[in-house]
């Protein structure tokens, strides 16, 4: 096997997901010969492969965290990183993919320049695909995923929706083989799934909304500020990502997730509360409102679920609190913080294609990233 085989991987962001990505790349049998880590970068430091060989991060070498913190190279600017990666690409004779494990808007808006330099991009970062249509189109222009015979850069983003669950790849396969998407409907937020699975059950609800949110926050199921989940914007971002993969809706959302009608679960008086602690403290003032909604659903034999809906026929995309009858899969088969996504299509007309499972967590998110890297290695090595 020549040194030119496989691809190079440059990793930006080494938090929870980044750490798990590195762990999988360095310990899973067979991966190190396909995926050669040549750069690691956090906000402070950059660790670079010094020659044509990849970084030595596995067992036997010193821990990558130590190596990174002891690196004498300060964090490179993104244009500097591109230059270094172009050099490594040329020296190794291997294609290079950048993995963005941040949730940084600045890194996301730099994707077109990575791509213009011939670098592929893999990421769980939702920002680039759920923001303005201009950035998105600029990415589309440079990526060559669907261009026959091209050896240009690729973009993979499985983990932007449902983490490692096969959501993006399934939608892409449906569209590419000519199926017609009628409606995509699902519980896209693990946090909101957990909250409503606890709050609203076919047997009614015995817990206070505010107590569930408090418990979820204390156990790390929510973002540090629960409004980041309860505002619905994370769901709106996922809807923007998916709807842009549906040909009829490719240009439907000029401002991305901001163009998606989104029902915020945060009571208006709490919208500007800056501290997550204060937010949770004041939430009980509004329990009666949540209870009334829950009771109305229960009296109709239904439960409340916070869902995202992409209705292709009516060109309606929305993130909202809806009721589902107790027999519906969203009511009956969901538990914990599971995501569930239903694809109603021309080929799956009466009963949808369903994918369900944990849609958050470092390991499953990293799994989607690594599976995407393998696909790039298959296409470019």
Cβ pair 379, 210 in contact under 8 A: no
264 binding a copy of itself? (CB under 8 A): no
Which sign, positive or negative, has the C-alpha torsion 237, 155, 166, 337? negative
Nearer to a copy of itself, 205 or 232 (CB): 205
Q: Which stretch binds a copy of itself (CB under 8 A): 167-175, 217-225, 260-268, 283-291?
A: 167-175
The distance of closest approach from Cβ of residue 7 to a copy of itself in the complex, given in angstroms and rounded to an integer, is: 9
Q: What is the distance between the alpha carbons of residues 310 and 328, in angstroms, rounded to a whole number? A: 18
Cβ pair 69, 90 in contact under 8 A: no
Name the DSSP class of 97: E
The distance of closest approach from Cβ of residue 353 to a copy of itself in the complex, given in angstroms and rounded to an integer, is: 4
Q: Which residues make Cβ contacts (< 8 Å) with residue 327, sequence separation at least 6?
A: none
Nearer to a copy of itself, 45 or 305 (CB): 305
Reduce the DSSP state of residue 262 to 3 states and report it.
strand
148 binding a copy of itself? (CB under 8 A): yes
Identify the bridge partners of residue 117 per DSSP, sorted by sequence position.
none
Q: How far apart are the first and last CA of the chain?
A: 12
CA 86 to chain centre: 27
173 binding a copy of itself? (CB under 8 A): yes
Alpha carbons within 13 angstroms on the beta-carbon side of residue 186 total 30
Residue tagged active-site, from 45, 217, 238, 318: 238
Residue 313 appears among annotated catalytic residues: no
Cβ pair 223, 216 in contact under 8 A: no
Q: 58 a known binding residue?
A: no
The distance of closest approach from Cβ of residue 185 to a copy of itself in the complex, given in angstroms and rounded to an integer, is: 14
295 binding a copy of itself? (CB under 8 A): no
332 binding a copy of itself? (CB under 8 A): yes
Environment class of residue 72 by beta-carbon count within 10 Å: exposed (0-12), middle (13-18) or buried (19+)?
exposed
Q: Which stretch binds a copy of itself (CB under 8 A): 10-18, 183-191, 251-259, 330-338?
A: 330-338
Per-residue binder mask for a copy of itself (CB under 8 A), 339-378, x = binder: ----x---xx-xxxxxxxxx--x-xx-xx--xx--x--xx
Residue 245, phi then psi, degrees to nearest 5? -90, -5
Binding site residue list for NADPH = 102, 126
Residues that bind a copy of itself (CB under 8 A): 1-2, 4-6, 24, 27-31, 33-34, 145-146, 148-149, 164-166, 169-170, 173-174, 176-179, 327, 329, 332-333, 335-336, 338, 343, 347-348, 350-358, 361, 363-364, 366-367, 370-371, 374, 377-379, 381
Active site residue ranges? 238
């Amino acid at each position: 096997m020549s040194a030119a085989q496989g691809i190079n991987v440059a990793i930006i962001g080494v938090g929870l997901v980044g750490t798990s990505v590195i762990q999988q790349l360095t310990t899973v049998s067979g991966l190190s010969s396909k995926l050669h880590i040549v750069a690691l970068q956090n906000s402070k430091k950059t660790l670079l492969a010094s020659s044509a060989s990849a970084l030595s991060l596995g067992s036997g070498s010193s821990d990558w965290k130590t190596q990174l913190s002891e690196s004498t190279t300060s964090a490179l600017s993104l244009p500097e990183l591109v230059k270094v990666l172009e050099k490594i690409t040329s020296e190794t004779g291997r294609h290079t993919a950048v993995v963005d494990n941040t949730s940084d808007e600045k890194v996301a808006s730099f994707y077109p320049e990575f791509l213009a330099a011939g670098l592929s991009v893999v990421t769980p970062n939702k920002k680039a695909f759920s923001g303005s249509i201009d950035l998105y189109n600029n990415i589309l222009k440079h990526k060559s995923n669907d261009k026959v015979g091209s050896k240009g850069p690729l973009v993979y983003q499985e983990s932007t929706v449902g983490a490692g669950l096969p959501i993006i790849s399934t939608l892409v396969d449906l569209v590419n083989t000519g199926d017609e998407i009628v409606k995509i409907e699902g519980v896209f937020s693990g946090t909101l799934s957990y909250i409503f699975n606890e709050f609203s059950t076919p047997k009614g609800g015995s817990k206070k909304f505010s107590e569930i949110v408090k418990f979820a926050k204390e156990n790390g199921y929510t973002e540090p500020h629960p409004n980041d989940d309860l505002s619905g914007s994370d769901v709106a971002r996922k809807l923007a990502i998916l709807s842009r993969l549906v040909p009829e809706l490719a240009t439907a959302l000029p401002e991305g997730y901001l163009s998606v009608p989104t029902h915020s679960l945060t009571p208006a008086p709490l919208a500007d509360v800056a501290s997550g602690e204060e937010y949770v403290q004041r939430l009980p003032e509004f329990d009666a409102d949540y209870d009334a909604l829950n009771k109305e659903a229960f009296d109709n034999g239904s439960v409340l679920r916070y869902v995202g809906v992409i209705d292709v026929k009516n060109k309606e995309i929305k993130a909202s609190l809806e009721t589902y009858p107790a027999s519906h899969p969203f009511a009956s088969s969901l538990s914990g913080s599971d995501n569930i996504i239903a694809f109603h299509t021309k080929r799956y007309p009466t009963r949808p294609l369903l994918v369900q499972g944990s849609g958050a967590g470092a390991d499953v998110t990293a799994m989607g990233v690594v599976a995407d890297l393998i696909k790039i290695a298959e296409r470019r090595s």
